[in-house]
Structure 1
Amino acid sequence: MVDLLSASTSLAVEMLQRTASTPHVQQIVQLSLAPAFLLSGIGAIMNVMMSRMIWVAERIERIERRIEDGKAGDHELRELPWLVQRRRHAQKAMAFSTASAAVISVVIALLFISAYIEPQIGTITAIAWVLTMALLITGLGFFLLETRMAARGVNYRGWRNRKTRR
């Protein structure tokens, strides 16, 4: 038990010595600023995505209520599958963007951890950064699909032809 306490005490002392250098801590904070700004940007993008997804989901609910009440017109019946597809794209965009935000948070943690441990984890940090970019690009790709569908509208011929071929 005494060995365990002395080992944890020496570990604590070592950690304090490593963090005692203010310039060293400042350098780590500076290194983590780029991923932190990226995290902020991802949050702003996700806010826009969520607003669009909420609008689409509410529109789907209104149309489904009108269908249940027997008041839905032909346009609304044509619009429903189009809206459902838009919602799928928006949900995928949100899922991939959320995953990228989670991974960039891991990158920030790894940057701090790497300054205070002996094993070099730069490769892990780089892999996490690349994974963040891949997830973000995928999320933005789905967001692009959703916004293009919205811009073209339900009456876009390519959409109708694609839906009837399935």
Structure 2
Amino acid sequence: MEVAPAVTTIAQAIQLSVAPVFLLAGIGAILNLLASRLSRVIDRSRQLEILYPQSTGVEHERHVWELRLLDRRMMLVNAAIFLIVSSAIAISLVVAVLFVAELTHLNIGNIVAIAFILAMLLFVAGLILFLIETRVAIHAFRIREELLERGEK
């Protein structure tokens, strides 16, 4: 006769998984932000792709410069999304392994710890790329000095 896990065992497993689940909710918000940034970068690059063939001289050089910057931003956001989604997958695996370990009484604490550390490293790497992307974006959107009328005559 097989014994079903006690309700208290299941409750303990749920308690153990609450923190990682909250972390997943935060990761979802960050992914939403990154997807939004990626969408805006793509929209801007499409606008410039239309203007690019019609431009000449300094304007053309500025379009080329901005397209290169947008390409770099797309690469950074894509990489950040990849790392943060990988982190979410690792955290989800941590939650699943916590349940399995609790229900089967396996002593796999080291595996859970390693998976969680890996998840946090992936998350931090993704956030670092996000930080770099925001710095690149700020560099791209500095207002040119000639457009800032300083009142000098």
For normalisation by structure 2, the TM-score amounts to: 0.84
Shift >6 Å, 4+ stretches: none
Answering whether residue 70 of structure 2 is matched by residue 83 of structure 1, we say: yes
User: What stretches of structure 2 of length at least 5 have no aligned partner?
Assistant: 144-153
Per-residue deviation, 1:71: 4.3
RMSD: 1.8
* 1:64 equivalent in structure 2: 49
Distance 1:29 1:134 in 2: 24
Gaps of 5+ in 1: 1-9, 157-166
Distance in structure 1 (CA, Å) of the matches to 2:34 and 2:107: 37
2:29 is the counterpart of 1:41: no
Deviation readout 1:19-73 (Å, 9 max, x if unpaired): xx222211111110000000111111111111001100111122112224x2473
Matched AA of 1:102: I
Tell me if 1:153 matches 2:144: no
1:24 and 1:118 map into 2 onto residues whose CA distance is: 10
Q: Pick 1 or 2: higher relative contact order, CA cutoff 8 A, min separation 6.
A: 2
2:123 is the counterpart of 1:139: no
Q: 1:1-166, aligned counterparts within 5 Å?
A: 10=1, 13-14=2-3, 16=4, 18=5, 21-68=6-53, 70-71=54-55, 73-74=59-60, 75-153=62-140
TM-score (normalised: structure 1): 0.78
Q: Percent identity?
A: 36
Q: Distance in 2 between matches of 1:118 and 1:151?
A: 52
Return the offset for 1:154. Answer: 5.6
**Taking structure 1 as reference, are residues 143 and 45 closer, same or farther at Cα in structure 2, changes over 3 Å only?**
same
Aligned length, in residue pairs = 140
- Amino acid in the other structure paired with 1:56: V
